[in-house]
């Protein structure tokens, strides 16, 4: 079988003695694990190494595959020009990967910058590998702003291309874990960073890639990582294969998570296909939607395609046509917020009109985002929050971020936050966000209101 193994490795420049000047000794376990990875690869003797890095030519909507004859790089930007690599590239395999990706409607290839941006994410792993083994050709791929599904899919495309190429291939996923593990680290501390690394370590050691898609997107964002999508692509490369997985080491000495893991392919296993779990939201679109959500989707799709506000459909329930209420419409794309606009109290003659106008505002007028495009429509998830009338309260003790939304007010300044939001699990955090939205300083005197919602999704 051409698919031999895959590895997840970090890329800290400080690991090199020419850069660390003694500090590298504090992550000796990581250095030892790098050498072990190099030894494993030398024993496999692969003809091809496919390496994915987050620090090459990265594009929002496209996977860049390096297409020159040779990959050359060094660490001169870290004042260590002597640390360099010069590897022949396998252009034939690169073209096969792009061809397989096209059949899966995944945009990839060698368009864009022909010269690879300085990429220590590739140089550092290759430098270690080359100390033990050099008889291989390289395919260098950069991450993108595309979805997790697309990264997993490109991993599958790499596997298919390698099988067609019929030469022994290993995959190297370059990427650090959280950069927010210590207060004195380069990016400070967040509890989500620690939680993210704990989950990734378990996944690496167990080889259960399905857990990748259980990690909430807000935890990934707060972790400030650069290796998550690399690992997702690695999972796609090992799609439907049994593996022997092993976490070789993990260190967070400098406030950044460095994990080294190995996955040795052991044969076919059709049950080890993990992306279907993440695709569940696509299946939901095929089922009958709640009519509140269906109306929001209809309004957005009609407006984006026709640049006109649709009329209220005739076949709606009396509840939508006759009731009045404030409504918030939220849009998400691949688990990330894509727009959210709403009204605290009803401004229109019915809930249906409230949904239509707020849905259109969410897709076109949210100042945090560009307007939604036609190409994005099939990727959107919708939720509609119907607000109960707010009630004044005396203090934070009467709040519950899961049960109640909050409104903070001082004069004309007013900020609202919906209840039961991902990552908002304390009253203080809920109120602080609402104050920030209102432009009210925490030390100012302000009034509080709470409200309940019915969430349709």
Q: Which of 29-38, 135-144, 255-264, 270-279 has the lowest mean pLDDT?
A: 270-279
Predicted pLDDT at 117: 59
In the predicted model, what is the mean pLDDT of residues 442-449?
92
Are 85 and 95 in contact by the 8 Å Cβ rule? The answer is: no
In the predicted model, what is the mean pLDDT of residues 37-47?
97
Domain containing 392 — which CATH number? 3.30.1490.150
- What percent of the chain lies above the pLDDT cut of 90? 70
Same domain for 292 and 224 = no
Residue 277 has pLDDT above 50, yes or no: yes
Cα 65 from Cα 77, distance rounded (Å): 23
Quote the domain boundaries for residue 363.
Answer: 280-383
Q: Which of 128-137, 283-292, 326-335 has the lowest mean pLDDT?
A: 283-292
Burial (CB count within 10 angstroms: exposed 0-12, middle 13-18, buried 19+), residue 169: buried
Same domain for 302 and 187 = no
Confidence at 114, pLDDT banded by 50, 70, 90: low
Number of domains present in the structure of the chain: 3
Which of 354, 383, 412 finishes a domain?
383
Give the residue, 424 or 30, on which the prediction is more confident: 30
Same domain for 153 and 7 = yes
Confidence at 281, pLDDT banded by 50, 70, 90: very low
Residue 186 has pLDDT above 50, yes or no: yes
DSSP assignment, residue 310? P
In the predicted model, what is the mean pLDDT of residues 119-148?
94
Task: State which H helix or E strand residue 75 sits in.
Answer: strand 70-75
Same domain for 164 and 89 = yes
Domain containing 318 — which CATH number? 3.30.700.20
Same domain for 290 and 274 = no
Give the residue, 198 or 314, on which the prediction is more confident: 198
Confidence at 284, pLDDT banded by 50, 70, 90: very low
Predicted pLDDT at 282: 44
- What is the residue whose two structure tokens read 């297409």? 67
What residues contact residue 25 under an 8 Å CB cut-off, 6+ apart? none
Same domain for 251 and 121 = yes
Cα 412 from Cα 178, distance rounded (Å): 40
Averaged pLDDT of the chain: 91
């Amino acid at each position: 079988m051409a698919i031999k193994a895959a590895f997840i490795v970090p890329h800290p420049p400080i690991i090199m003695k020419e850069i660390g000047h003694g500090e590298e000794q504090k992550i000796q376990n990581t250095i030892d694990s790098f050498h072990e990875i190099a030894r494993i690869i030398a024993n496999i003797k692969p003809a091809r190494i496919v390496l994915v890095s987050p620090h090459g030519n990265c594009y929002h909507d496209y996977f860049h595959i390096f297409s020159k004859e040779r990959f050359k790089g060094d660490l001169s930007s870290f004042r260590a020009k002597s640390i360099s690599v010069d590897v022949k590239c396998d252009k034939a395999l690169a073209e096969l990967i792009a061809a397989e990706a096209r059949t899966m409607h995944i945009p990839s290839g060698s368009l864009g910058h022909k010269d690879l941006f300085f990429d220590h994410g590739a140089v550092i792993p290759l430098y270690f590998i080359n100390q033990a083994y050099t008889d291989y050709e390289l395919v260098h791929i950069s991450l993108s702003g595309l979805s997790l599904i697309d990264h997993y899919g490109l991993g599958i495309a790499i596997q298919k291309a390698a099988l067609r190429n019929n030469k022994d291939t290993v995959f190297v996923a370059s990427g650090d874990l959280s950069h927010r593990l210590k207060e004195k680290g380069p990016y400070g501390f967040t509890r989500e960073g620690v939680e993210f690394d704990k989950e990734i370590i378990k996944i690496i050691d167990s080889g259960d890639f399905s857990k990748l898609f259980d990690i909430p997107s807000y935890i990934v964002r707060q972790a400030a990582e650069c290796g998550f999508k690399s690992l997702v692509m690695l999972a796609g490369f090992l799609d439907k294969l049994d593996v022997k997985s092993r976490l070789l080491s993990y260190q967070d000495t400098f406030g950044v998570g460095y994990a080294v893991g190995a996955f040795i392919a052991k044969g076919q296993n059709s049950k080890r296909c993990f992306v279907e779990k993440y695709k569940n939201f696509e299946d939901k679109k095929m089922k009958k939607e709640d009519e509140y959500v269906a109306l929001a989707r209809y309004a957005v799709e009609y407006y984006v395609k026709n640049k006109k506000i649709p009329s209220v459909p005739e076949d709606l329930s009396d509840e939508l046509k006759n009731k009045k209420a404030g409504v918030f419409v939220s849009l998400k794309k691949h688990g990330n917020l894509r727009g959210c606009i709403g009204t605290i109290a009803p401004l229109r003659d019915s809930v249906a009109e409230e949904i239509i106008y707020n849905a259109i505002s969410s897709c076109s007028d949210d100042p945090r985002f560009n307007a939604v495009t036609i190409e994005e429509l099939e990727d959107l998830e919708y939720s509609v929050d119907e607000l109960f009338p707010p009630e004044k309260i005396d203090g934070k003790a009467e709040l519950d971020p899961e049960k109640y939304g909050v409104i903070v007010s001082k004069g004309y300044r007013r900020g609202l936050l919906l209840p039961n939001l991902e990552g908002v699990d304390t009253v203080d955090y809920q109120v602080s966000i609402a104050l920030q939205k209102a432009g009210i300083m925490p030390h100012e005197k302000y009034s509080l209101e709470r409200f309940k919602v019915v969430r349709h999704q």
